[in-house]
A and B are shown apart, each in its own frame.
Chain A
Amino acid sequence: KQEVTQIPAALSVPEGENLVLNCSFTDSAIYNLQWFRQDPGKGLTSLLLIQSSQREQTSGRLNASLDKSSGRSTLYIAASQPGDSATYLCAVRMYSGGGADGLTFGKGTHLIIQP
């Protein structure tokens, strides 16, 4: 059974710092990996989607990397801003052979950017 772990569980940094959020997964036979942002009590907003054949994806100040063989992904946030404060979730999707489907989520990293 796939398990996804996110470290750290919480992080508080001053505005302007660059930071890295970590995600690890136990089964490397993934189809893709997706990073989401969730504001308190709100829905999930997709940030970046990395296919299993890709090494990284970038969107603005965000960069996500994937090392499938070691079961790891990182989300790099450059020049952090108070508006980046949220919970960041990592989720992996397996190949749906045999009819199985769905994302397996980590429990998230709660990020606070101090003004």
Chain B
Amino acid sequence: DADVTQTPRNRITKTGKRIMLECSQTKGHDRMYWYRQDPGLGLRLIYYSFDVKDINKGEISDGYSVSRQAQAKFSLSLESAIPNQTALYFCATSDPTGGGGYTFGSGTRLTVV
């Protein structure tokens, strides 16, 4: 099994719908992150979490919310999806004490029509 698993892999949704992207990890890391990737813009940080009780906004948090259900689970929600949220979304974990490298999931391709 992958260290960081994202579901679903692909999703098409309609404008105005609520959608949740899920992430689970087996790395045992406390820190988890959500990024989005857009052509020409690169990867940008949406939210990050240091632990279950510590959630922080990233560079582009507007229109998104997150929930850290457990150390291993971090979900991203779009409360009312809009077309410019069409992107590739990545979940990641890191271990600051173990060199600080990041491990990424395989991504969720979200299309809002």
Q: Which A residues lie at the B interface, using CB under 8 A?
A: 31-32, 34, 36, 41-46, 49, 51, 89, 91, 93, 96, 99-103, 105-108
How many residue pairs link A and B with beta carbons under 8 A? The number is 64
A99 and B107 within 8 A (CB): no
Task: Give Cα distance in the complex from A102 to B33, angstroms.
Answer: 8
Q: Residues of B with Cβ closer than 8 Å to A?
A: 31, 33, 40-45, 48, 50, 56, 58-59, 88, 90, 92, 94, 96, 99-107, 109
Main secondary structure of the interface of B (DSSP, over half): strand
Residues of A within 8 Å of B43, CB to CB, are 89, 91, 103, 105
Contacts of B45 in A (CB 8 A): 102-103
> B105, A43: Cβ atoms under 8 Å?
yes
| 11 further interface pairs, Cβ-Cβ under 8 Å (given A46-B103, A99-B50, A106-B42) | A32-B100, A34-B101, A34-B102, A42-B106, A43-B90, A43-B107, A101-B31, A101-B33, A102-B59, A103-B43, A107-B42
Looking at the assembled complex, report how far the CB atom of B4 sits from the nearest CB atom of chain A, in whole angstroms: 8
Cβ of A44 and Cβ of B101 under 8 Å apart? no
Do B101 and A101 have beta carbons less than 8 Å apart? no
10 smallest beta-carbon distances between A and B, as pairs = A43-B106, A44-B104, A49-B101, A102-B45, A107-B42, A105-B43, A105-B42, A43-B107, A32-B100, A43-B104
